[in-house]
Amino acid sequence: MDTVLSGIRSTGNLHLGNYYGALRNFIRMQHENSCYFFIADYHSLTTHPDPKQLHENVKDILCEYLAAGIDPNVATIYVQSDLKEVTELYLMLNMHAYMGELAKTSSFKEKARKQPENVNAGLLTYPTLMAADILIHNADKVPVGKDQEQHLEMTRRFARRFNNFYNVEFFKEPQAYNFGQELIKIPGLDGSGKMGKSEGNCIYLCDDPKVIEKKVKRALTDAGPTTHNSVKPDCIENLFTILNVVSSKEVVQHFEDKWNTCEIRYGDLKKQLAADIIAVTNPIRERYNDIRDNEAYLHQVATEGAEKARENAQKTMRGVREIMGFKSF
Ligand code: TYM
C-alpha cells in the first residue's frame, strides 16, 4: 500500500485549480492507499496573514476538503501546525539545504519579484518546509498540479542528500502524481497561464452559480477562427482546457468540431462551460454550507487527524534524531 500525501496552503478558498490539480486525485486514491491530507497554515505565514483571519482560513479549507469528498474515516486530515514534528524536521533539513539552490527556485524568484518589500527567509526555505511535510510521512506519491513539480524535485534531492550524507536508506524519493496522466495546470479565465489565488482569476469551489456564470461570461476570447483546423490562441485553449476537465468527452468533441469548421460561437461555449462547472461545484458548495458551523464535528476531525498523523511523524523523527546522532541523557 502506498503512502499518499498532499496539502493546500490556507491563503484563500479552494478553486478549480486546487481541485483538479490535487484534491480530486487525492479523493480518488483515498480508499486504496494510506492517505494524508493537510492544511498548510505554516506556509501561509510567508504573506503575514491577519491573526484574526488565520483560523477562519484554516476552517474554510477544512470544510472544503470534507465537502469535496475527503472521508475522515478513511484518510487522515490534519492541520500542519498541529504537527510540531514538521518544524523540527524542517530545521534539520535546512542544515542540508543551500542558499544557491533555494534562491534559484522559480516560486521564490517569482514571489521575490511580486512582493519585493517582504522577501523573508520563510519564502526562501519554503521548499524545505514542503519537503518536511512530505518526508515526515515518507510519502510515495504526492498528488499536485504542475506548478509544484519543482518543489517535488527538490524534496527528492533533499531525501537523497540526507540518505547519502548519513549513509542510510531512510527517506524514500516521493513522486508527483496525477491519476494516470501528466501533471496538469488549470489556467485562469483572463488568458493567463495559471488559475491562482494570488493571480485573482479564480473560480472558487464555493462560488455561487450566478458568480460562476458571470466569471465565465467575462472570460477573454478572440475574434474567432478564420481558417479550418487552426491552432487555438492561448485564451481559447484555456477555455478548452477547463472544458476538458469539467465536461463530458462528447461535449468537448462537439466544440472541437465547431472550432475546426469555424462555426464556434463563444457564447454557446461559455454557457456550456459555466453549466458544467456549476454541476461539479454545486454539491460541494451545498455540503460546505451544511458543515461550516458544525464546530463539534470539525473539532473531532481535526483532533483525530492530528493524532493519527502524529504517530507517524514521531516515528520518523525518532529515526532522524538517531541517524543524526542525537541522544538523551
Ligand atoms: P497551493 O495551495 O498553491 O495549491 C494546492 C494544490 O493545488 C494545485 N494547484 C493547481 N493545480 C493545477 N492548476 C492550477 N491552476 C493550480 N493551482 C494550484 C497545486 O499544485 C497544489 O497541489 N506548496 C503547496 C502546499 C504544500 C504542499 C506540501 C503540497 C505545502 N506542503 C506538501 C503537497 C505536499 C502550495 O502552495 O499549494
Higher pLDDT, 191 or 148: 148
Backbone angles phi, psi at 59, to 5 degrees: -65, -45
pLDDT of residue 200: 82
pLDDT digits (tens, 9 = 90+) for 30-58: 999 999 999 999 999 999 999 999 999 99
DSSP 263-281: ---HHHHHHHHHHHHHHHH
**Apex 26 CA angle, 21 and 28, nearest 5:** 110
How high is the mean pLDDT of the chain?
96
Q: Is-catalytic flag, 270? A: no
Domain 3-184+294-324 has CATH 3.40.50.620: yes
193 has a pLDDT exceeding 90: no
pLDDT of residue 30: 95
pLDDT of residue 188: 93
pLDDT digits (tens, 9 = 90+) for 120-152: 999 999 999 999 999 999 999 999 999 999 999
* Cβ-contact 298, 291 below 8 angstroms: yes
DSSP 8-state code for residue 64: H
The stretch 2-25 carries a mean pLDDT of 95
pLDDT of residue 157: 98
pLDDT digits (tens, 9 = 90+) for 299-320: 999 999 999 999 999 999 999 9
pLDDT of residue 179: 86
The stretch 84-112 carries a mean pLDDT of 97
**Largest interatomic CA distance in the chain:** 78
Where do you find CATH 3.40.50.620 in the chain? 3-184+294-324
The closest residue, in CA terms, to atom 26 on ligand 1 is 7
6 lines ligand 1 (CB under 6 A): yes
Q: From CA 155, how far away is CA 127, in angstroms rounded?
A: 7
Best residue among 3, 5, 9 to mutate for probing ligand 1's pocket (most ligand atoms within 8 Å of CB) is 9
pLDDT digits (tens, 9 = 90+) for 177-186: 998 889 999 9
17 lines ligand 1 (CB under 6 A): yes
pLDDT of residue 102: 98
Q: From CA 16, how far away is CA 94, in angstroms rounded?
A: 33
The stretch 212-238 carries a mean pLDDT of 95
286 has a pLDDT exceeding 90: yes
Residue 34 parent element (H or E): strand 34-40
243 has a pLDDT exceeding 90: yes
Instruction: Calculate what percentage of the chain has a pLDDT beyond 70.
Output: 100
The closest residue, in CA terms, to atom 36 on ligand 1 is 9
pLDDT of residue 192: 81
* Domain spanning 209-289, CATH class: mainly alpha
72 lines ligand 1 (CB under 6 A): no
DSSP 36-61: EEEEEHHHHGGG---HHHHHHHHHHH
Where do you find CATH 1.10.240.10 in the chain? 209-289
The stretch 9-30 carries a mean pLDDT of 95
Nearest to 169 by CA among 138, 190, 202: 138
pLDDT of residue 181: 85
Backbone angles phi, psi at 119, to 5 degrees: -90, 80
Assign 289 a pLDDT band (cuts: 50, 70, 90): very high
* Predicted TM-score of the model (pTM): 0.96
**In the block, residue with C-alpha cell 504526492:** 142
Q: Is-catalytic flag, 197? A: yes
